Structure 1
Amino acid sequence: MIVNEKIKASEVQLTGLKGEDLGIMPTEEALALAKKLKVDLVCISLMSSPPPCKLMSRGTAKQAAAADKRDTGRKDQPVKLKEIRLTAAIEDHDYDTKLRQSEKLLTAGNAVQLVIRLKGKEGPKAKELLERMLKDLAAAGKKDTGIQVSGKQAAVRVNPL
C-alpha cells in the first residue's frame, strides 16, 4: 500500500472522503488537501495512469489492508476431507444421525468421504445405501467420484456446493 509522500506519480485521480470524485490534480496539491483535512492520501492501484487515489482517515487504510489480507488467507485454504464411516446394515436412526453429520460438514465447506466397511457379500447393499445417502445429500453437496466398491469397503466422495 502506497501512502502520502511515497506516491511518486506527478498527478493523481482523486476521490474524496465520502466517495465524491475530485478529478485529476497534481500530487502535491492532493497531499496538501490531505494534510489540511488531517487524513491520508492512499494510492489504490498503480496499474492506470494517472493512478486512482483516495482520501482516507488515518489508520483506516491500514485496517482495510489487514482485512483484505485476512480474507485472501481464508479463501486460499484447501477443502478439508472428513470421513464418515457407516455399515451396510444400518438402523434408520443411525442413518439419520450420519446424514445430519454429513450435511453439517458439507455446509461448513468440508468435503465428505462416505465409507462403508464390507463383511461378506454386502457389496450391492452398500452401494444401494450410498446411492440413497447421495440422493439425501443432494441439497448440500454433489458427488466428486463415483461409488467405488473394492474388496473390503465401498466409498464415495461428496464435495460441498
Structure 2
Amino acid sequence: MINEQIRDKEVRLIGAEGEQIGIVPLKEAQRLASEKSLDLVKIAPQAKPPVCKIMDYGKFKFDAAKKEKEARKKQKTVSLKEVRLSASIEKHDFETKMRNAEKFLKAGDKVKISVVFRGREMMHTQKGYTILEQALVLLEEIGVAEQKPKFEGRSMIIVVAPK
C-alpha cells in the first residue's frame, strides 16, 4: 500500500535515508513524505503499529524489476537429453552415441542413456547392464551417474549429470 491507500491511525515511520523517525500519526507521515516529494509505502503491515517508509516508489519498483531480470539472465536451465541404445548395438554405433552424450554433458545438460529391449532381448537384460557400465566408463571424466540403472517398461535407464 502506498500514500492514500494506507488506512491506519498511526504508523512507525522510517525516513528516506533509513533513519527511525518513530511512531507518528498517519497524516503527519503523509505530510513528511509529500514535503520531500516522495511516497509513503507500507513495508510491514502485520506489525503493531504498521511500519511505513518514505521512498520513491517508482524507482523502487524499477530497481526490483532490474534485479529480477539480472537474476533470470544468470539462471541456467538444465535440460535432459536422451541417448537411446539397443541391446545388440555395434561398437562404432556405440562410440558415436557416446560422443553425442559427451557433447551434451559438456554443454551442461543431463543425459538419459536408455537401452531398449525388443522381443526376446528381454531375456538378456545383463547385456543392458554391460552396455550402461561401458557408457559410464567412457563418460566418467565429465559426468557422474545420478542413480543405479533401473527398468522402465522395456528399457533400462540411467541418468548422467555433468561434473
Could you say which TM-score interval applies, normalised by the shorter chain?
0.5 to 0.7
Specify whether residues 68 and 148 from structure 1 end up closer, same or farther in structure 2 by C-alpha distance, changes over 3 A only: same
TM-score normalized by the length of structure 1 = 0.65
Q: Is the 8 A contact 1:130 1:147 kept in 2?
A: no
Specify whether residues 53 and 64 from structure 1 end up closer, same or farther in structure 2 by C-alpha distance, changes over 3 A only: farther
Runs of at least 5 residues in structure 2 that lack an aligned partner in the other structure = none
Q: Secondary structure at the match of 1:124?
A: helix
Q: For residue 46 of structure 2, what is the amino acid of its counterpart? A: M
The structure carrying a bigger helix percent of its residues is 2
Specify whether residues 16 and 116 from structure 1 end up closer, same or farther in structure 2 by C-alpha distance, changes over 3 A only: farther
Cα distance in 1 between the residues matched to 2:111 and 2:97: 17
User: What is the aligned partner in structure 2 of residue 125 from structure 1?
Assistant: 130
Larger Cα Rg: Structure 1 or Structure 2?
A: 2
Q: Across the two proteins, how many residue pairs are aligned to each other?
A: 145
Give the C-alpha shift of residue 23 in structure 1: 1.9
User: What is the aligned partner in structure 2 of residue 41 from structure 1?
Assistant: 40
Runs of at least 5 residues in structure 1 that lack an aligned partner in the other structure = none
User: What is the aligned partner in structure 2 of residue 50 from structure 1?
Assistant: 49
Q: Is the 8 A contact 1:34 1:55 kept in 2?
A: yes
Segment of structure 1 superposing worse, 39-48 or 11-20: 11-20
TM-score normalized by the length of structure 2 = 0.64
User: What is the aligned partner in structure 2 of residue 147 from structure 1?
Assistant: 149
Segment of structure 1 superposing worse, 41-50 or 31-40: 41-50
User: What is the aligned partner in structure 1 of residue 27 from structure 2?
Assistant: 28
